[in-house]
Each structure stands twice: as structure tokens, then as C-alpha cells.
Amino acid sequence: MSSADFYKNIEPMNDMYKLIGSNNFKSVPNDWDIVVTDIYKSTEAIEQGRYKDVNFVAASTIIAVLNALPNIEIPFVFGGDGATLLIPSSSRIKISDVLADVKSTVINQFNLYLRAGIVPVSELSANGVSIFVGKHSISDNYIQAVFKGGGLSYAENLVKNGNGKFEINSAVKLGCANFTGLECRWQDIYSFKGESMSLIVKVNENHNDNQIYDMVLKEIDFLYGPAAKRNPIGEKDIKLTFKKKGPLFESKIMGKTKIFYTIKIWLENLYAVYSFKFGNEEWKRYKQLVKSTCDYEKFDDTLKVVLSGSKYQREILISILDKFEKEEKILYGVLISDRALITCLIFERHGRQVHFIDAADGGYALASKQLKDKLEKLK
């Protein structure tokens, strides 16, 4: 088996519970690399009301890498204000050039500084750090990567605190990055129960990961319903936007003339609205396709989940998490909003796609900051 195909050949599982505790993970080969991206000082942008910008830029790094390597199945995870991907080491120079172009585009068009780095898996192996990856089958059109072993957190720390050793500082080759498929065309999704919550849970090192995560997921199941039913996005909630901001994001990242690109997207949205009611069966089922390819629950050395519910449900869950935290089983971070954001990667209009869900007003980014602050206090 070619190392380039190691991820492609992993058998997916459709049950997150069973997957986390299973042996269906593969060790990432030493001739692969970990790509880490994040927005420097994203908290400041969030305080300025720009979390939608932050989400969009984070997603742009994923689509740029995937478009650069169309013949290789690439595992990735979206983190709100950044992303992590695995690539073959043979693609390192190519992806460095692509991400240098993304960084340049982001600073020029969004006035955000994107930090990007590449860490060889061999660097982790040399320091006794493991990284394993599995596949979670969300639907026929979206297979999600799941990570274990601590390698992602280790790589992120090397990029952020490695004195620039692993950061990408390639000279910018304009036009390297291809953002085709990145879209921001849906309205924010307001929770019909009142709250949208981004939650991150990390099990403490001296406890059995699988057992504790299973306990947390069962509590979430009890309060919010099983995974298949607690999708925070309902078909009736999905509405296309005709505001300027969504098309503005796309025109900026694509380098298109804003007025003409905005009109183009509005016309496409009008066609889609018509087709949802009067089009062929594919269009009539499109919102169902969107819902079935939502990324609202994931595992990347931590459990990340977006939940839509009532204040009462949230208060009960937080009291349970506080109890687990006092027992030194877990640490967690949380952000509460009244709505969720949706950022999309469309590979096939009526096929493969993924819709990243995050709570507005800071979502995973501020939940992660809260979690990291707790970790710092333990040192």
C-alpha cells in the first residue's frame, strides 16, 4: 500500500462512540506532515464582531490545501479560528507555497494575520508523541477525520511556540491558492430553543479517555438527544442570505470585482430559492443534503460539539461538567450564543460537501481559549 493512500484505505465507522473506543485508527506514517493554521490575535477580531470573518478565513486554508492536492484524500479538522490537516511530506513545498499565498490574501483582503506551519510527523515520532487518525461516516457525502494520540496539540504548540522553526515563510507566489468551493451564502441560524453552544471537552491525562468521553457523550445524549437528532441545523432554518457580507467574503478571497461578484451570487441565490420549490428532485432535496453534511460534532484529541438548546438544558449540562471537572476527570471550555454560523466547502453541488457549524460571537475559538486558560493554571 502506498503511504499516500494510507488515509484513503481506512475503513469509516458511522458511530462516534464506537469509533473513539475502537482499534479502527491508523498511525500516521512518518512521511506525512501536519499542517497547522490559526489566526493570530483572533480574540481581538472577535471583540470587533468579526467572528464570521475568522470562521471564513479558517475554512479558506482547508479548501486551498484540498484543491492543491485533488488526487489525495486529505484528513482535516476545522477549529473555528484555524484548521489542521495531514499531507504527504512529498507535497510540503507545494503546500508551503499555497499557504504563503493564502496568508498574503488574508492580510490584504481581511486585515487578519494567518499563522501557518508544517510539522513533520517524524518530528513527533522522534519525541515519543503519537498521532492516530480514523474516519467517521457522517453521511454518504461527508466522511469526517477523527484524531487521537495527542499529536495535533503537540504540533500546534510547535508552530505557535517553536521560534518560527516550523512556520511557513515562503516567498509569495501569487495565484498558487485556489479557493474554488468556499462559500458563505446562508443566513446565521438562530436557535429555536434560545441558545447555540460551542463546547470543547478534554479528558485529563490520568484518566481513561474512552470511558470519560463516553460518560460525557451519554450525558449530552440524555439532555439533547442522540447524535442523529441533535443536529443544531434544521432544514427549515436554512435560508440563503441576500445581504452584502456573504458575497463580500467570497469576492475578497477570490479576488473578484465586488459589485459584479455580489450580483452574480444574488442571481445564483435567486435561482436556488426558486429551485428549492420548483426545481428537480436534487434541488428540492438540497437543504436535506446540507443538513446531512453538517460538521457540528468532532474529535481531535478533544471532543468538540455545537449544541442548540434551552438555557435549562445548558445549565444542567454545565453542572455535570463542573462536577467532572472538580473530580479532575476533565477540563472544558464553552461559548454561549443565540445563533450558529455556517461556512461551506462545496466539492459537488449535489454531492460531496461539508458545512462547518460554530456558535456565533466566538464559538470554538473562545471555548478553546477558556480551556487553555484552565490548562495554564494547572502548570
Fold of 7-180: Alpha-Beta Plaits (3.30.70)
Per-residue pLDDT of the chain (379 residues; tens, 9 = 90+): 458 889 999 999 988 878 887 788 999 999 999 999 999 999 999 999 999 999 999 999 999 999 999 999 999 999 999 999 999 999 999 999 999 999 999 999 999 999 999 999 999 999 999 999 999 999 999 999 999 999 999 999 999 987 788 999 867 777 889 999 999 999 999 998 899 999 999 999 877 788 899 999 999 999 999 887 889 999 999 999 988 777 889 989 988 777 888 899 999 999 999 999 999 999 999 999 999 999 999 999 899 999 999 999 999 999 999 999 999 999 999 999 999 999 999 999 999 999 999 999 999 999 999 999 999 888 7
Please report, for residues 132, 194, 298, 367, the alpha-carbon distance to residue 217 in angstroms, rounded to integers and kept in the order given. 21, 22, 12, 18
pTM: 0.95
pLDDT at 1: 47
pLDDT at 3: 86
SS3 of the chain: CCHHHCCCCCCCECCHHHHHCCCCCEECCCCEEEEEEEECCHHHHHHCCCHHHHHHHHHHHHHHHHHHCCCCCCCEEECCCEEEEEEEHHHHHHHHHHHHHHHHHHHHHHCCCEEEEEEEHHHHHHCCCECEEEEEEEECCEEEEEEECEHHHHHHHHHHHCCCCCECCCCCCCCCCCCCCEECCECCEECCCCEEEEEEEEECCCCCHHHHHHHHHHHHHHHHCCCCCCCCCCHHHCCECCCCHHHHHHHHHHCCCHHHHHHHHHHHHHHHHHHHHHCCHHHHCHHHHHHHCEECEEEECCEEEEEEECHHHHHHHHHHHHHHHHCCCEEEEEEEECEEEEEEEECCCCCCEEEEEEECCCHHHHHHHHHHHHHHHHC
pLDDT at 58: 97
The residue extents of the domains of the chain are 7-180
